Every structure is written in structure tokens, then in C-alpha cells.
């Protein structure tokens, strides 16, 4: 006989649910902006993310495919394909590791660096808006909480 699991006794907290919903909304707005400006600069959003990982994730100015797979949260073989396509577009170049030739180091090209500088500049103001949105979420109570305290506005 199969045993049915009982529903959890505690419902999700309404204020927490509201905050998570607002956070996801702010995050999605930022990501949509980022995708739009990447395309306007002639690269795919994935290539922009790759350039960020190559130039900034490790702090070395280059990255291994394994580093990039972690940064992008993608499978190794998917990142290999992304690096190859970015290399064909002149955004990155590969070179062997000086210490271990089993690893490939990925570097931004001058074109990749120029593209990343432009995209970073375009993201500056949007990042400030995103941060302000996050601060408003963490500093405010949800509409449900305000209503329960009698503070809802008409």
C-alpha cells in the first residue's frame, strides 16, 4: 500500500513570497536589458557572458574552459562550442597552459575587450537601478504585511 505524504503544515510566508517575486522581477528586468544591449553591440547574450567570464571571473584576465563552465553554469562540452563560436567571431583566442598542456587558456582579443568595455559602460546605469530595486525589496514589507497592519493605501 502506497503511503500518501501529507501536505506541509506551514504555508510559505506571504512577505517572503512577495520579496522573492519582486527579486525575480528585478532580476529578469536586468537580464532582459543585458540581453538587449548585447545584441545591439553585435554579440549574443551568451558571448557577452563568456567575455565577462574570460576577462573577470578568475581575476587573471583569462580562464580555462572549466572555469568558464563553472561561471556560466554550463556543461564543459557546451562551453567548448561557445568558445569556438566566439573565437570564429574574433572575440577570444585560445592558448595552451604554460604549466599543464591538457588545459586550454581562453583570452579576450582586442575586439573582445573593446566589446566588453562598451557593454560594461552600458550596464553601469542599469546596475545602479537594479541595486536600488534590491534595496527597496529588502527595506520594504510586502503589501500583504502592510494590509494586515492596517497600512494599506487605497
Q: So where are the chain's domains? A: 15-140
Which residue, 9, 26, 20, is CA-closest to 132?
26
Residue of 29, 22, 17 whose CA lies nearest to 130: 29
**pTM to 2 decimals?**
0.77
Average pLDDT, whole number, for the chain? 86
Q: What is the pLDDT of residues 116-126, one digit of tens each?
A: 999 999 999 99
Q: Which of the two residues, 131 and 38, has the higher pLDDT score?
A: 38
Residues contacting residue 64 through CB under 8 Å, at least 6 positions apart? 97, 103, 104, 105, 106
CATH 1.10.10.10 fits 15-140, yes or no: yes
Residue 28: pLDDT band (50, 70, 90) is: very high
Amino acid at each position: 500500500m502506497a503511503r500518501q505524504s501529507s501536505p506541509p503544515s506551514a504555508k510559505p510566508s506571504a512577505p517572503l513570497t512577495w520579496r522573492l517575486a519582486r527579486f525575480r522581477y528585478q532580476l529578469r528586468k536586468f537580464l532582459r536589458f543585458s540581453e538587449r544591449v548585447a545584441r545591439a553591440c553585435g554579440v549574443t547574450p551568451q558571448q557577452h557572458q563568456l567575455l565577462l567570464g574570460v576577462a573577470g571571473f578568475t581575476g587573471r584576465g583569462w580562464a580555462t574552459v572549466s572555469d568558464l563552465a563553472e561561471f556560466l553554469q554550463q556543461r564543459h562540452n557546451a562551453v567548448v562550442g561557445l568558445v569556438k563560436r566566439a573565437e570564429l567571431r574574433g572575440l577570444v583566442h585560445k592558448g595552451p597552459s604554460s604549466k599543464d598542456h591538457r588545459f586550454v587558456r581562453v583570452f579576450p582579443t582586442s575586439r573582445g575587450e573593446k566589446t566588453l568595455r562598451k557593454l560594461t559602460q552600458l550596464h553601469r546605469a542599469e546596475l545602479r537601478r537594479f541595486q536600488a530595486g534590491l534595496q527597496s525589496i529588502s527595506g520594504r514589507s510586502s503589501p500583504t504585511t502592510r494590509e494586515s497592519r492596517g497600512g494599506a493605501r487605497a
